[in-house]
Structure 1
Amino acid sequence: MPAHRPSRLPGQAVATPEPPGHRPTGLARFNALPADEAERTLLACCGSSHWARRVAAHRPYPDLDALLAASDEAAYDLTPADVTEALACESLTLLPDGAYSAAHTALSAAHAAYESRFGHVFVICLDDTPPEESPDLVLTEISSRLTNDPDKELTLTAEELRRLTRGRLTRSVGDTDIFRGAGNGAIFRP
């Protein structure tokens, strides 16, 4: 009589045994982390503790798409306080080498005006922007968004954080050392 195999649901991931001494990387490593370490790891991608807890709680993820979907879902549910917490964790990135002093002056003034108006740093996801175009795009976007009312701007900021987080997660899952931290200059500081 053949051995009984447990049935598998459609779309369910099949676990394959790892060779002895194998150390998981990327998504497999993230899935295997203890909950508190997974949350700390996720905080490098988005500084909201609520978001990090939710994303960590839904592990294991079968693939990157599932992780990104969970990230998006948790990001869409961020409260204004959660967004404020995440913004407080954002580090400021310097302008690219060779940027003109006029760009530094213009961006400094734009950032100061933005922070004065909204009380938080300006965030924009630059994942699809060539580095040499980033300063112009940032200046254009800050100028455009300065006309927003605070509620609309908070919504746009939350969306930029969500996009930025997706990029960070995507880059991190492919790395040997998962979640090395912030990526792709989301905030410029002259």
Structure 2
Amino acid sequence: MTREAIGLAGFNSLPADAAEQALLACCSSPRWARAIAAARPYVNAVSLLDAADAALDALDEADIDAALAGHPRIGERATGAAAHEQSGVSGDDVRARLAEGNRAYEEKFGHIYLVCAAGRSGEELLAVLRARLDNDPTTERRVMRDELAKINRLRLTQLVAS
């Protein structure tokens, strides 16, 4: 699903099911989407982003796994928002090294390598991946949640842009 900028007033006025669908295009955790939709109306974008962060913090690990399921691997051919966010990843060599790094990361941590890729080159994303492979699982889970929050904020900001 692609997201159009609908403005904050437009988002606030959506029927609950349509709001949840728009939110699922930002983050594929149904619990997160329900929480954000249910807390409408938002007085400004900052209050929406704060609510998004709080809802993310409240998610259990199964909900986080649902959120991760909505993201392609870094370096794979992506569509929609992920394609735009990963536009800095180019070249077969970089993609091959990212694929190798993704395999090592998933083997170690049991989930995809998630990073806010917007505005970053493939080489930078590869360097971040390699550095994060040194994390212990608890630290990495926290880092991954922080990256998910950045992605959610970016996508929400785009959704409610006027």
Which bin holds the TM-score, normalised by the shorter protein? Answer: 0.7 to 0.9
Question: In structure 2, the residue corresponding to 1:125 is in which secondary structure?
Answer: coil
Identical aligned pairs, as a percentage? 40
Higher helix share: 2
Does 2:94 correspond to 1:103? yes
Q: Which amino acid aligns with 2:114?
A: V
Distance 1:142 1:111 in 2: 8
Q: Where do 4+ consecutive residues of structure 1 move more than 4 Å?
A: 95-98
Deviations 1:101-123 (A, max 9, x none): 32122111101111121221111
Which position in structure 2 is the counterpart of 1:155? Answer: 142
The TM-score with structure 1 as length reference comes to 0.71
Pick closer, same or farther for the CA change 1:164–1:30 going to 2, 3 Å. Answer: same
Q: Which runs of 5+ in 2 are unaligned?
A: 1-5, 78-85
Which position in structure 2 is the counterpart of 1:10? Answer: none
Q: Which runs of 5+ in 1 are unaligned?
A: 1-24, 176-190
Over the residues paired in the alignment, what is the CA RMSD in angstroms?
1.9
Q: Which amino acid aligns with 1:120?
A: H
Deviation (angstroms), 1:98: 8.5
Q: How many corresponding residue pairs? A: 147
Which position in structure 2 is the counterpart of 1:75? Answer: 56
The TM-score with structure 2 as length reference comes to 0.82
Deviation (angstroms), 1:83: 0.8
Q: Which amino acid aligns with 1:75?
A: L
Does 2:27 correspond to 1:57? no
**Greater radius of gyration (CA):** 1
Q: Which amino acid aligns with 1:99?
A: S
Which position in structure 1 is the counterpart of 2:160? Answer: 173
Deviation (angstroms), 1:149: 1.7
Does 2:128 correspond to 1:137? no
Contact residue 88 and residue 121 of structure 2 kept, 8 A: no
